Amino acid sequence: MTVEAEFLIKLDIGCGVVGSGDVNCDLYVNDAGHRMTGNAINTRRVKNFVSCDAQHLPFKDEAFDWVYSSHVIEHVDNPFAMLREMVRVARIRVTVRCPHRLGERFFLKQSPYHVNFFGAAWFGKAFRKLNCISIVDIINYISFPNKFITLLRLPYEMQIDALKCNSPEISEIITRVGIERAYEILRG
C-alpha cells in the first residue's frame, strides 16, 4: 500500500480548474494569465472549493493528513510563509512541486508570473526550520540540444516531500525503523 492510499484527507493548494484534493483551494478564481488552460475555476465543479491565499490558510492546525501544492510556490510573495502554513495545517505530509531554477532561469522563457526560483537546497533548509524531514526528487529534465542527442541535461521540475517530525506516526516510524525507512515512506 502506498502512503497516498493511507491518507484520509488531502488539501490541494492552488488547485486550478481541476482539484485533486478532498478540499481544494486557490486564490484566483478567474484566470490571471498564469494558468496553462486560460480558464476560470468553476467553483461548483471543483470538490469542496475554498478561495484563499496559500500564505494565510483558513484551516485549523493539522486539519489535513496530506497537504499538496503543484506549481504555486514560485508565484507567492513569501514562499517560506506558504511552507509554514502548509506544515501547520498538515498532520503528516507536505508535497510541493515546482520548477527548478536552473531549467527555468537559464534555458526556457521565464514566466512573468514567477517571482521565486528554487534549487533543492532551499527546500531542505526551509523544511528543517519547520521541524520536517524532506527529500527532493527531480521529476523532469531538459536535454540539450534535444531529447535524442544529449550534451547537457538540466533539472527542470522537482517534487519535494516532507514529513512532520512532530507527527506521532512519523516519530514512531523513525524510532522503530530509523530515518532511512522514513525516507522510503516519503518516496511511496
The domains located in the chain, with CATH, are 3-187 (3.40.50.150)
Q: Which has the closest alpha carbon to 73: 27, 140, 32?
A: 27
Q: Are 161 and 174 in contact (CB under 8 A)?
A: no
Whole-prediction pTM: 0.83
Which pLDDT band holds residue 162 (cuts at 50, 70, 90)? Answer: very high
Mean pLDDT of 16-34: 83
Mean pLDDT of 154-179: 78
The pLDDT of residue 56 is 97
| Per-chain mean pLDDT for the chain | 82
Compute the distance between CA of residue 54 and CA of residue 56 in angstroms, rounded to an integer: 5
Which pLDDT band holds residue 1 (cuts at 50, 70, 90)? Answer: very low
Helix (H, G, I), strand (E, B) or coil at 180: helix
The pLDDT of residue 26 is 93
Of 56-60, 119-123, 150-154, the range with the lowest mean pLDDT is 150-154
Beta strands in the chain (DSSP E): 10-13, 23-26, 49-51, 64-70, 90-99, 132-145, 150-164
pLDDT tops 70 at residue 70 = yes
Mean pLDDT of 162-166: 85
Q: What percent of the chain has pLDDT over 70?
A: 73
Q: Are 133 and 127 in contact (CB under 8 A)?
A: yes
The pLDDT of residue 180 is 67
Mean pLDDT of 46-56: 94
Of 20-24, 99-103, 109-113, 160-164, the range with the lowest mean pLDDT is 109-113
Q: What percent of the chain has pLDDT over 90?
A: 44
